Structures are given as C-alpha cells and as structure tokens.
Amino acid sequence: MPDPRLRVLALYPDLMNIYADRGNLLLLERRCAWRGIGFSLLGAGLGDLLDPEAADLYYIGGGQDRDQRLCAYDLAEHKGEALHEAAARGAVVLAVCGGYQLLGRSYQLAGETLPGVGLLDCNTVRTEDGAVLGSGDRLIGNVAIEVQLERMAEPQVLAGFENHGGRTHLGPAARPLGKVLRGLGNNGNDGLEGGRAGKVIGTYLHGPLLPKNVWFADWLIATAIGADEPLAPLDDRLERLAHLEARRAAGI
C-alpha cells in the first residue's frame, strides 16, 4: 500500500449505519484514492475484539436504540479498553449520532441505562422526569454549526441533518465540536453541538456528514495520517454545491 496511507476501522458497520452514514467511509476512501494516499478499511462487529494499533481512524455511525443497546454492551465487554488505547496513542475517533452517544459515559433510556465507552465526558438522556419522550419530542431537522479546529485559519461551517431522541449534555472535560447556527444540536437548549476530547469527536450530524462537508473530511484525513503539509487540493465543484445545498436547507 502506498505511503502515506489511511487505515480506517468501522465499528458495527451493519448495525450502526442509519441515514447512509456508510457514505462517510466511501468518501474517505475516494478522497484518499484521488490523492494517491493508500486506504484500507476493516470492520469490527458484535463479539469481535478490537486491535488498538489497527487503524488511524476509528469510526462509528448512527443507529436505532435497539441496535445501540447491543453495541453498548458489546463495547463495554469487548472493545472499550482497546478504543481508549487507540485514542491514547493518537488515533482519530469519529462517531455520529448513536455512535456519539455511545462514546459518552452513559445513555439513559426508560428503565435502563446503557453503559458508554467514556471517551467523551457527556451523558445522554432519553427520558424526562422518568417518562419516555414521545416521538414528537425527537430533535429532528437540518442543522448547521460553526466549528473552529486546529490548523484551520478561521471557523468553518458543518451542515447536516439530525434526528435523535436522546439529549446530550457535556461535562467539564469535553468541549463541544461547535456552536449551533441553525437546528437543535446536543439537547436543543445550550446551543452546543457534538463533543470533543483531543482527536475523539462526536457529532449528531448525518447527511452523511462528510460528503456535505469535505473540508472536515480532509481535516480528519490529514489529522489521522499526521500530514505535515496541507493535502493536495481536489476539484471540489460538486462537493461545494452539496455543502451549499446543505447550508441552504439549514437556513444559512
């Protein structure tokens, strides 16, 4: 495989993949190929052990509560420790929606609290005053957030789509990924979206996220492979239109 190369490991690629979150992986693969950067993709499902050295970027997409429940216990039993080790050695961890919720400390459903990996200092609650939120209480819609990342000269916009019943609150050890410009974000109240701790990043943005925000995909690739120089530019005319359309849908 050519060097540099990006090694990606997708956690639960079958169970945690709603709103075409798998598209994020395809996009990473294409943008690497177009630049002559090697790319490999591994998957880890229920019961599999995780190699903390196997990847530069660990990825987990969104899912339904039912599937998340299976993954939460599997993570706790088989993979949580290795994911901590991977993050500690500097791997990027990107988690979308249900995956983001699982990176936190816990996900509280009616009658059951699912364990989280604890890579992000946040808690997610699906209930209020002990009652299950009705389906009308989901946080749904187009969303745009403002994000300032290392090595970016100025803040950038991430645009996407959110649909979650869980409300996430960050603790003091987590930073938000961004501040909400339009949409609801972590909980519809505090104006924050997503969570970060170093290279561990969680967000509620589907879309899929990366095809609509290729600047962020490139930031992830560069960070994961430890690129010293900016990645070679690509012909992003279509990607820019997709980004502008997602922003327009969100109202900015």
Q: Which residues are catalytic?
A: 97, 206
Rounded Cα gap, residues 14 and 9, in angstroms: 13
Sign of CA dihedral 207, 212, 216, 221: positive
Residue 159: beta bridge partners? Answer: 144
Q: Residues with Cβ < 8 Å from 43, sequence gap 6 or more?
A: 9, 10, 11, 13
Contacts with ligand GLN: how many residues (CB under 6 A)? Answer: 13
Beta bridge partners of 5: 38
Among 80, 98, 104, 183, binds ligand GLN (CB under 6 A): 98
From the list 6, 102, 114, the residue with the least C-alpha distance to 56 is: 6
What minimum distance in Å lies between the beta carbon of 235 and ligand GLN?
32
Q: Does residue 166 touch ligand GLN according to CB under 6 A?
A: yes
Residue window 53-92: x/- pattern of binding to ligand GLN, with contact defined by CB under 6 A: ---------xxxx--x------------------------
The correct pick among 156, 163, 182, 191 for binding ligand GLN (CB under 6 A) is 163
Site string for ligand GLN, 15-34 (x = CB under 6 A): ---x----------------
- Residue number, 4 or 195, with CB nearest to ligand GLN: 195
Residue ranges of alpha helices (H) inside the chain are: 23-34, 65-74, 80-88, 98-103, 209-212, 214-225, 237-250
Task: Tell me how far, at minimum, the Cβ of 99 lies from ligand GLN, in Å.
Answer: 7
Binding site for ligand GLN (CB under 6 A): 18, 62-65, 68, 97-98, 101, 163-166
